[in-house]
Chains A and B, each alone.
Chain A
């Protein structure tokens, strides 16, 4: 139906002007919001004070709820464990035995590793843990994959720092409040992590797909070199993420796409470890650092682990 010729609510001037003013304000509001959105797209860190304050204000609600959820799910598994205690006991004993052998081996390897590092006169691993915090919630109604952790700038957390769990890499900090911060998960579509294959060191790039999986892109042309069950660790190339953090396991191999699942599942992890930003070039003296214009491909990687790994594009 054609709209009426006039939208006058009646003969009252006040009502007419009120209606008109309402629309003017609404259109102005849309324009203002679009402007804010443009600022957010151009500079994602804009309005960080406001957003950080909102993050802090909502943290108590979320963390209280999270502990309830954890208690409920935890009590479920406690009941289950009670009923199969004997079988589990045997199982665990066998596992302890197995682990003991591997632990001794790992200790020997670590010792050897440290010795070789000293020989190469490399500084030790940069494992500066900034803070340890709980993951309290994540977005569930938007295309972005962001999680909230209960540590903020008062704990020394800064934007850009990598976040990991003992199981593997989780993501990196994109927003901080004083007591809470937001983490861009590695499964987000905007996250790119340089990784390498544990088996033979083939470099690759792990990009989030937004649905809890990762797309592994090889940096070499030719046949897909990956197999189902392959494990990737971060390569440390390009900084931010330090080397050798477990990252992903391949679950599906197609003709030209490889889909992997992150090794650390944020919904099952209690604590996340926030680490300082890994900067490979900071370890070498200034005069050895490559000139900004020199070809990055020619520059020798400063870490032995980075050997054979191509720099991030």
Chain B
């Protein structure tokens, strides 16, 4: 006979793991912006965003759209974006995902990647446009390497999130 848990402490630990792994992993991905890398061109994807949409596409019922707001605030503060950028974009995207989910009958791997690609393109464009509003004159072509890298990195991040999800729900 195999038991689910042997004592109360283990139950509590597993409960915490099940509840908080998605949030904590997204926060940790935000903290990647603190990596001591100094680059002269935006080529590295925004892993916090990729992580967020990967979780959202994998588990649509887990998060309400409001969850993206505090996570966005944290990302703004850590990554040095203008305050409100990730908050607005992430929450708006979550509402959009809910609308998409109510309209499509099924999603598979390729659909997820397609939806994520559109989301990434919109996100990168919005980031560039907000920079433009803030007085930057950089051309959009500067963002293209990052756009490509983000779209290609999404399956890897989704795979990683899937792994985390299996560990999270493991007995």
Chain A residues whose CB sits within 8 angstroms of the CB of B134 once the complex forms: 40-41, 44, 144, 190
Identify which of A2, A62, A141 contacts B45 (C-beta below 8 A): A141
How far is A266 from B47 in the complex, measured between Cα atoms in Å? 23
Give the residues in chain B near A143, CB-CB below 8 Å.
42, 127-128, 131, 136, 138, 142-143
Contact, CB under 8 Å: B43 / A40: no
* Chain A hits for B138, CB < 8 A: 143, 188-189, 208-211
Judged by a CB distance under 8 angstroms, whether A176 is at the interface is: no
Q: How many A-B residue pairs have CB under 8 A?
A: 196
Partner of A141, one of B44, B65, B95, B99: B44
Which A residues are in CB contact (< 8 Å) with B78?
A: 54, 58
Chain B residue nearest to A136 (CB atoms) is: B36
A 206-228 contacts with B by CB, 8 A: 207-212
The CA-CA distance from A146 to B72 in the complex, in Å, is: 19
Least Cβ–Cβ distance between A103 and chain B, in angstroms: 31
* Bound Cα distance from A144 to B134, whole angstroms: 10
- The size bracket of the interface on B is 35 or more
Main secondary structure of the interface of A (DSSP, over half): mixed
Contact of A61 among B31, B127, B133, B142 (CB under 8 A): B31
- Complex Cα gap A143–B35 (Å): 17
Contact B42 A142 (CB under 8 A): yes
Tell me if B135 and A190 are in contact (CB < 8 A).
yes
Q: A65-B35, A142-B42, A143-B142 given as contacts; is B131 within 8 A of A34 (CB)? A: no
Any A CB within 8 A of the CB of B163 = no
Contact call B39/A210, Cβ cutoff below 8 A: no
Partner of A69, one of B36, B41, B92: B36
Say which residue of A39, A54, A210 sits within 8 Å of B41 (CB atoms).
A210
A96 at the interface (CB under 8 A from B): no
Given the complex of chains A and B, what is the CA–CA distance between A134 and B130 in angstroms? 29
A139 touches B85 (CB 8 A): no
Is B66 within 8 A of A29, CB to CB? Answer: yes
Contact with B along A214-248 (1 / 0, CB 8 A): 00000000000000000000000000000000000
Question: Which residues from chain B sit less than 8 Å from chain A, CB to CB?
Answer: 31, 33-47, 64-66, 68-69, 72, 77-85, 87-88, 91-92, 94-95, 99, 102-105, 127-128, 130-139, 142-143, 146
Which residues 142-162 of A have a CB within 8 angstroms of B? 142-148
Contacts of B105 in A (CB 8 A): 1
Q: Spot the interface stretch: A19-27, A109-117, A275-283.
A: A19-27
15 contacts between A and B (CB under 8 A): A1-B105, A7-B102, A22-B66, A39-B83, A50-B77, A58-B34, A62-B36, A136-B36, A137-B38, A141-B79, A143-B142, A144-B136, A210-B142, A265-B40, A266-B40
CA distance A44 to B149 in the complex (A): 29
Residue of B38, B44, B84, B88 with highest tally of chain A CB at under 10 A: B38
Known: A50-B77, A182-B80. A189 touches B66 (CB 8 A): no
Q: State whether B95 touches A30 (Cβ < 8 A).
A: yes
Residues of chain A contacted by B83 (CB below 8 angstroms): 36-37, 39-40, 46-47, 50-51
Chain B residues with CB under 8 A of A265: 40
Q: Which residue on B lies nearest to A26, using beta carbons?
A: B65
Contact present for A141 and B33 (CB under 8 Å): yes
Residues of A within 8 A of B142 (CB): 143, 209-211
